[in-house]
Structure 1
Amino acid sequence: MKKDKQKVIGEEVSDERLKDLLTLKSHDDVNNDYHILTKAYRALREDDFARFLQIFITAGHDINATSKEGETFLATISSHQQAEHYINTLKQAGAQ
């Protein structure tokens, strides 16, 4: 985390803030849906990420979008030690 950023713990994230994540744009030819999932995963707590996924899917975004290497977001985080809840949430939402 950058020194100039404060970590906010316990702040409630509104649906509007979650929807704002859908406006993010990728760079370097990264699939935009994959980019959005990555940013949401890095920024959101477990429960907020679960809420975000429903908004993401309802808005018509692809939960199985792939990286430049052809890997789904679920596959990317499957080796992360503290991602179990995120992985389960993705699977329940239909990620492969």
Structure 2
Amino acid sequence: MLKKDKEKVIDEVWTEDRIREFLDQLPPAGVNTDFHMLWKAYQGMRAEHFEIFLGLFKAQNRDVNATNNDDQSVLTIALEHSQSGDYVRILRDAGAQ
């Protein structure tokens, strides 16, 4: 029987330092760094933490409209998700188009 290699974390504490760790995300070869950071943050954070992340992200002059290899931004992808309303608002408030 295979053992899970990662335990599910519930109610993780999201300090600003923890949120900043997402700014150190290195993308796979050929993937836009800014898109990769945004995507990982979108996938891994609650909306309130994602909003803090975007403030830190923009303070580093990063591109909130960065795209993946299919020319999709995180906003474009989020618009396809039924539960992403808060994330869409946060992205748009940060200048995503």
TM-score strictly above 0.5: yes
Distance 1:37 1:48 in 2: 12
> For the residues of structure 2 that align with 1:42 and 1:72, how far apart are their CA atoms?
14
* 1:74 to partner: Cα distance: 0.5
Counterparts of 1:55 and 1:25, CA distance in 2: 17
Alignment correspondent of 1:68: 69
Divergent runs of 4+, >6 A? none
The residue that corresponds to 1:37 in the other structure is 38
Residue 9 of structure 1: aligned partner: 10
**1:33 and 1:86 mapped to 2: Cα distance?**
17
> How far apart are the structure 2 equivalents of 1:11 and 1:30?
28
Unaligned runs of 5+ in 1: none
Aligned partner of 1:87 in structure 2 is 88
Deviation at 1:80, TM superposition (A): 0.6
C-alpha distance in structure 2 between counterparts of 1:47 and 1:61, whole Å:
19
What is the distance in 2 between the residues matched to 1:50 and 1:65? 17
- CA deviation vs aligned residue, 1:7-50 (integer Å, no higher than 9, x gap): 33333311111111111111131101101111101111110111
Provide the aligned C-alpha RMSD in A.
1.6
Number of residue-to-residue matches in the alignment: 95
**Higher alpha-carbon Rg:** 2
Aligned residues with identical type, % of pairs: 37
Structure 2: gaps spanning 5 or more residues = none
